Structure 1
Amino acid sequence: MPLDIKKIVEENTGANNALYADHVNPRFAKALKIIGFDKNYVTASGAYMWDSKGRKYLDMLAGYGAFNMGRNHPDIRQVMKDFMDADFCSLVQMETPILCGLVAQQLKQRCGYGLDKVYFCSTGAEGNETAIKFVRRATGRDKLVFASSAFHGLTSGALALNGGEVFREKFGELLGTDKVPFGDLDALEEVLAKRDVAAFFVEPIQGKGVNIPPDGYLAGAGRLCRKYGTLFVVDEVQTGIGRTGKFLAIQHEDGVEPDLVILSKSLSGGYVPVCAVLMKDSVFNKVFSSLDRAVVHSSTFGKSNFAMAAALAAMNVLDEEDLCSNATAMGDLLGERLSALVPKYEFMKDVRWRGLMLAVEFGKPKSLKLRTAWATVNGLNEDLFCQAVTIPLLQDHAILTQVAGNRMTTIKLIPPLTINEADVDWFVSGFDQVMADLHKFPGPAWESLTRIAKNALTRPDEKAKATA
C-alpha cells in the first residue's frame, strides 16, 4: 500500500516550525519566528502561494530563482508524470543517456560562444566545484580570482570564492584565492598579470546586492583573461534561463567570450536539482584526456534522465510562453514604477534592474527626524532596516521578498518570470504603503522593529532571567 503523502501533510499541518526546530535547524526556525516569516505554505501555482489559513501571497523570491517558470507549472509536471509512467530507465551509470545528450545539444545552441561540451551535476555549488577542478587541471595553475560581493556557493571550494566574510569565517583555511573589486578591470589586470591565476570567476549580475557591472566590463574581463592565460568562468546559476530577459545574462553585452558557463536553479523549472557546466573543448580535453580518465570526474545524479526530462520541459515552457520577453517587459514596468517613488521617499536611494532581477537600495535620509530613525536602527543591527520593509510587505500585504545580502540596505526581487501587470500593481501598492509608514517617525513600524531587534539581540541567559 503506497504512502498517503497528502494525509501525512494534512495531519501535521501547523507543526512545520516545531518539527524543523526540533530536528533540522532551531536557529533558522527561531529567526523566522522573530521576523514573522514562520508561515505554513501549503499550495502554490505560478507566482502565488497559499498558507494553511487560505491567505494568498505574491512570491517575489521564487525559491532564490529556482522557479523562473512559476511554481508547479502544469506542463513540466505532466512531463514528470509521463516520464514516471513510462518506467523509463535512469542512472544505469554505465550508459550514455539519450536525454543528457539532447539537453546538452539544446544548451549549446541556446548559449553559443563556442562552448563544446556539457558536464551535468546537481547544484550550482557543485557546478562551481566542478569548474574549480577543471580550470586548475586545464591551466596547471592553482590560484583563483573572484569579485567582491560574489556568491558562488557554500561548499568548501566555492566558499573560497565567496565575497561575504560572514560565510567564510571560522571554517578554516580555504583554497588560495584573490579578491578584486567587481567592475574594476584595472584591479583585475593587476592580479592576472602575475600569470599564476587559473581562472576568474564572475557573476554577470551579482546576486548579493543585484550589482550590475559597467558596460564592457564582462567583455573586457574576458580579454584580460585571454591575455594572461587565465580561463574566464561565468556563473549564470541565478542570472541564466531567462531571468534577465535573455537566456544568459552575458548575452546583453557584445564581445563576451567565456571559457566555462555554469547553469542551475531554473534549468529544471524548480522540480529537480540539476546543474550544467558548459565548457570549451580545450578545457574538457585536459580533464577527460584519455580512455582511462573518461570518468575522472563524475556525479551520481548528474546523468539523471528525470532531471533531463524536467530540463527539456522547462526550456519548452520558456519558449512557448515567451518568458524572456515577459521578463523584460515586467522588469521594466516594475523598475520604472519603483524608480518613480525615489523622489517621494527619503529612504529610497536607488532602483536597479535587468529583466526580472531587481534591487531597491535604501540610504541615509536628509531630514533630521528620519536620520535619527536610521541611526537608531543601524546602531542596533546593520541588517535591520531592510526588515522594516520585508516584514510589513509579508505581514500586511502578503508579499514575500528577501534582503539582498548580509549588512546590505538593499532588498532583492527575483519573482517568477510569469508575473503580470496586476502582480506589479500588487507589489508597488504594498511597497508604497510600507514606505509611507516608515516615513512616520516615531510610529508603529519603528516600535515593532525595535522590539524585534531587542528580542534578536537578547542572550539566552538574559531571556531566562527576564521570564523567571
Structure 2
Amino acid sequence: MTLPNGLTQEAAGQAAARAYELDRRHVFHSWSAQKALTPMVITAAQGCYVWDGAGHRLLDFSSQLVNTNIGHQHPKVIAAIQEQAAKLCTVAPQHANDARSEAARLIAERTPGELNRVFFTNGGAEAVEHAVRMARLHTGRYKVLSRYRSYHGGTETAVNLTGDPRRWPSDHGNAGTVHFFGPFLYRSQFHASTEAEECERALAHLEQTILFEGPQTIAAIVLESIPGTAGIMVPPPGYLAGVRELCDRHGIVFIADEVMAGFGRTGKWFAIEHAPGVVPDLITFAKGVNSGYVPLGGVAISPDIAATFDDRPYPGGLTYSGHPLATAAAVATITAMAEERIVENAAEIGARVLGPGLHELARRHPSIGEVRGTGVFWALELVRDRATREPLAPYGGTSPAMTEVVAAAKEAGLLLFVNFNRLHVVPPCVIGESEAKEGLAILDQVLSLADKHTV
C-alpha cells in the first residue's frame, strides 16, 4: 500500500516511529501535561482524510484545529507555495511584494463594508493582540469587553480576553479585560425561553455591563461572530446588530473575531454576514485564509481606524508580517475557493446533509442534548440527562464517557474535535456528500456508547 505522499506503508511506519520517539524526547506540547501525552503521528493527508503512523485512514471531521477549510494538500495551494519559493522566499515587511499586495486585495474584496486595509500577522492570537492595540490607540481608552464561553488566542491579551478555563492560569485581573454573558439559549443565564427573549436579555445585560464599567473607559468589544471552540452558539437574530448599536452609541470599537469562523466555515466568506448589514470596525482572521498551509493571520481595518495612523506611526509590527510564502498560499486558497465554489459547497453540505443528519442523530440518541451550527461548523452537546441538561463531561474537563466515545470514533476511522462535553463536527469546506454521510454513520455508531451513560 502506498500513501498519498508516495511512501509505502512500511516506510511511513518507520518514519512515524522515529517521529514519535523524537517528539517525546524533545517536543514540548501546548495546553498539555507533558508526561501523559501519547500524540498520534500523522504521516500523510489528502482532501478530507489523514493517515496515522500505522497507515490507518481517518476522515478528518476536525479540520485539524478547524483550519484546513480547503482540505489537505490542495494542489493549487501547494503549487503556489512552490512557485513563490522559487521566486522570492522571504522579504522584510517594509518592502512591498506582489503576494502580500494581492492577498490584501482579495481579502478586502470579501470583507463587509469598507474594511479595505489589512495588517498581516502570523496567526489569530497576534491578530487579536493588534486589533485590541489599534482600538486602544484609536479611542484613547483601555478596557476591552469579551464574552464568557469564548476563545481568542494564547498570547497575553488574547488569553485574558478568552472566556474559558484556559484563561485562568494567566489571568491576574490586571489586563483591562471584562467579561459578560453572551446569548446561549440552551444554557441561558437570563431565564429566557425563546431566542427573542435570549437576544433581548443578553443585550440588556451587555448594556448594563457597559454602563457599570463606564462607557468612556471602554475601547472595544471583542466577539467571535459565531463562537467556535466554546460551543458554536449561533447568535440569535438581532444580537450582533444590537452590539453594533451599543458600540456606536458609546464610541466603542466593535472587533469581530473571525479566526475560526471566517473564510467559508459557516457557508459565507465571513460569519458576520449572517447578520445582514452589520459591519464591525475591525475583523481578525487566520486559519481558513490559507488553511494553515503556511502560518498567516491579520486584521481588516475600517477607514476611520486606519486614518488614525495616517500621520501617527502605528507602534507595532512583525518580522514576518505578510510573509510571501504565507500570502501566496492565501492568494491561491481564496482564488481556488472562489473558482471551485467551496464556500457555497460548505453552505449546501450544511443545509442538505450535515444539519439534517445531525438532527436525525439527535432523534435517535438520548445523549445528544442539542445540535447547533451552520455550514460545516456544528456542535453536538452531549448530556447525561436531557431533562436537566447535565453535561456528559464537566465544564473545563473531560470524563471517561467522552474519552470512550472519542476513542471509538478514532478506531472506526473518524477524527473529531472535542471540547468538554461537546463533539464538534467541523470537516473541511470541500467535503462531499458521501464523505459527510460516512462521518455521520460513524457518529451514529459511537454515540450508542454515550447513550449508555444517560439516565
TM-score range, shorter chain: 0.7 to 0.9
Q: How does 1:231-380 map to 2 (within 5 A)?
A: 231-290=253-312, 293=313, 296-332=315-351, 333-365=353-385
The separation in 1 between residues aligned to 2:450 and 2:384, in whole angstroms, is 13
User: Does the CA-based 8 Å contact 1:67-1:269 persist in structure 2?
Assistant: yes
Once the two structures are TM-superposed, the CA of residue 100 in structure 1 deviates from its matched residue by 2.0
CA distance in 1, matches of 2:162, 2:51: 34
Q: State the Cα RMSD in Å.
A: 2.7
Secondary structure of the corresponding residue to residue 278 of structure 1: strand
Q: Name the counterpart of 1:186.
A: 204
One-letter code aligned to 1:168:
W
Q: Secondary structure at the match of 1:178?
A: strand
Question: Counterpart of 2:408?
Answer: 392
When structure 1 is superposed on structure 2, of 323-332 and 137-146 the one drifting more is 323-332
Question: Which amino acid letter does the alignment assign opposite residue 146 of structure 2?
Answer: F
Q: Distance in 2 between matches of 1:413 and 1:246?
A: 17
Specify the alignment match of 2:4 in structure 1: none
Report the CA distance shift for 1:398/1:141 in structure 2 as closer, same or farther (over 3 A). same
Change (3 A) 1:287 1:181: same
For the residue of structure 2 that corresponds to 1:245, the secondary structure is: coil
Correspondence for 2:123: 123
SS in 1 for 2:17: coil
Contact (CA 8 Å) 2:13, 2:55: kept in 1 or not?
Answer: no
CA distance, structure 1, for counterparts of residue 72 and residue 34 of structure 2: 23
Distance apart, 1:168 and its partner CA: 2.4
Residue 17 (structure 1) aligns with: 20
Residue 196 of structure 2 is matched in structure 1 by: none
User: Is the Cα–Cα contact under 8 Å of residues 261 and 278 in structure 1 kept in the other structure?
Assistant: yes
Q: 1:216 aligns with which of 238, 245, 252?
A: 238
Q: State which drifts further: 351-360 or 419-428.
A: 419-428
List per-residue Cα deviations over 1:392-444 (Å, max 9, x = no partner).
Answer: 1002x11000213xxx32111211111111112211111111122443479xx
Distance 2:322 2:362 in 1: 48
Partner of residue 417 from structure 2, selected from 396, 402, 426: 402
> Counterpart amino acid of 1:201?
V
Q: Which moved more, 1:183-192 or 1:240-249?
A: 183-192
Secondary structure of 1:212 counterpart = coil
Q: In 2, distance between residues paired with 1:269 and 1:341?
A: 29
User: 1:13-162 residue pairs with structure 2 within 5 A?
Assistant: 13-25=16-28, 27=32, 30-33=35-38, 38-86=39-87, 88=88, 90-162=90-162
Secondary structure, counterpart of 1:350 in structure 2? strand
SS of residue in 2 equivalent to 1:200 = strand
Q: 1:464 aligns to what?
A: none
For 1:212 and 1:91, the matched residues in 2 are separated by 40
Question: Any unmatched runs of 5+ in structure 2?
Answer: 1-6, 184-201
Aligned length: 420
- The 2-side partners of 1:358 and 1:30 are apart by 32
Change in Cα spacing, 1:125 to 1:288, as seen in structure 2 (3 Å) is farther
TM-score scaled to structure 1, two decimals? Answer: 0.83
Cα gap change, 1:378 to 1:352, in 2 (>3 Å): closer
Pair 351,15 (structure 1): closer, same or farther in 2 beyond 3 Å: same
Query: Is the CA contact (8 Å cut-off) linking 2:382 and 2:422 kept in structure 1?
Result: yes
Distance 2:170 2:301 in 1: 33
Larger of the two Rg values belongs to structure:
1
Counterpart amino acid of residue 294 in structure 2:
V
Report if aligned partners of 1:205, 1:239 keep a CA contact under 8 Å in 2: yes
SS in structure 1 at match of 2:298: strand
- How do residues 199-210 of structure 1 correspond to structure 2 at under 5 angstroms? 199-207=220-228, 208-210=230-232
Q: CA deviation at 1:384?
A: 4.1
How far is 1:366 from its partner? Answer: 6.6
Looking at structure 2, the residues matched to 57 and 279 of structure 1 have their Cα atoms a distance apart, in angstroms, of 39
- Cα deviation for residue 28 of structure 1 reads 5.0
Is this contact kept in 1: 2:93–2:323, CA < 8 A? no
What is the CA distance between 1:174 and its match in structure 2? 4.0
2:438 counterpart residue number: 426
Q: Please say which of residues 263-272 and 152-161 is displaced more in the overlay.
A: 263-272
Contact 1:17/1:29, CA 8 A, preserved across alignment = no
Deviation at 1:105, TM superposition (A): 1.7
List structure 1 segments (4+ residues) > 6 angstroms apart after TM superposition.
Answer: 6-10
* Structure 1 gap ranges (5+): 1-5, 443-468
Matched residues in 2 for 1:438 and 1:314: separation? 38
Deviation (angstroms), 1:171: 5.4
Cα separation, partners in 2 of 1:334 and 1:41, compared to 1, 3 Å: same
**What secondary structure, in the 3-state scheme, does the structure 2 residue paired with 1:272 have?**
coil
